[in-house]
Amino acid sequence: GENVEQHPSTLSVQEGDSAVIKCTYSDSASNYFPWYKQELGKGPQLIIDIRSNVGEKKDQRIAVTLNKTAKHFSLHITETQPEDSAVYFCAALNQAGTALIFGKGTTLSVSS
Amino acid sequence: NAGVTQTPKFQVLKTGQSMTLQCAQDMNHNSMYWYRQDPGMGLRLIYYSASEGTTDKGEVPNGYNVSRLNKREFSLRLESAAPSQTSVYFCASSGVQAGTQYFGPGTRLLVL
């Protein structure tokens, strides 16, 4: 079935360092890849997304890259801050275009 | 503009009891979704509704039913709760089926 693998499951960085989270997807027909941030006790919130017609997208300290040939995409956070500490989920739209398939999440801890 | 709202925030049930989780959105979105989130499992789709009057099964529909009451509201019902249904339940909506999904704050359900 359709699957999204996400690595690492936990990531600890020092404030100011960069963080990279990687995901691979199984369905080559997927064409939409969002990233969500979930803070403790809250619902996931979209932070950035990318469609298959572009290879990279940036929004201030956050960027996402997509390699369709290899079927993987990554989230890059630069100059990390303690408030970036959260669980991050990647997702890919399923082949039918009806639902998102989520990775299992990465817990990012940024220490000051 | 509240976005996606869910009630209740927290519920404790005994095995065999029934309950309905409520979800409403005020963004005039066509599509709505119910997910469950379990530790280390990411978010898994239970049911979705692509438009008013339609519902479809997701990855883990067993033990649940849904009703798309109108464009705004999408409810999830547990007819006979089981301890395996202890989870955090999230409702989401999107303007178009393959578009950005916006999540509610979640309902934490404990089944004893």
Q: Could you read off the pLDDT of A28-52 as tens digits, one per residue? A: 889 999 999 999 999 999 999 998 8
Residue B99: which pLDDT band, with cuts at 50, 70 and 90? confident
pLDDT of residue B41: 83
Whether residue B1 has pLDDT greater than 90: no
- Of residues B40 and B35, the one with the higher pLDDT is B35
| Closest Cβ–Cβ partner in A31, A42, A97 for B97 | A97
Whether residue A1 has pLDDT greater than 70: no
The answer to whether A17 and A83 are in contact (CB under 8 A) is no
Mean per-residue pLDDT, B97-111? 90
Q: Give contacts of B40 with chain A, Cβ < 8 Å.
A: 9, 104-105
**Mean pLDDT across chain A:** 94
**Mean pLDDT across chain B:** 94
Residue B97: which pLDDT band, with cuts at 50, 70 and 90? low
The answer to whether A28 and A44 are in contact (CB under 8 A) is no
Compute the nearest-CA separation of A104 from chain B (Å).
4
What proportion of chain A, given as a percentage, has pLDDT over 70?
A: 99
User: How far is the CA of A83 from the CAs of A16, A22, A69, A77, A111, in angstroms?
Assistant: 12, 20, 34, 12, 10
| Closest Cβ–Cβ partner in B40, B42, B105 for A102 | B42
Residues 6+ apart with CB under 8 A from A60: none
The count of residues in chain B is 112
Contact B56 A32 (CB under 8 A): no
Contact A43 B105 (CB under 8 A): yes
CA B43 to chain centre: 11
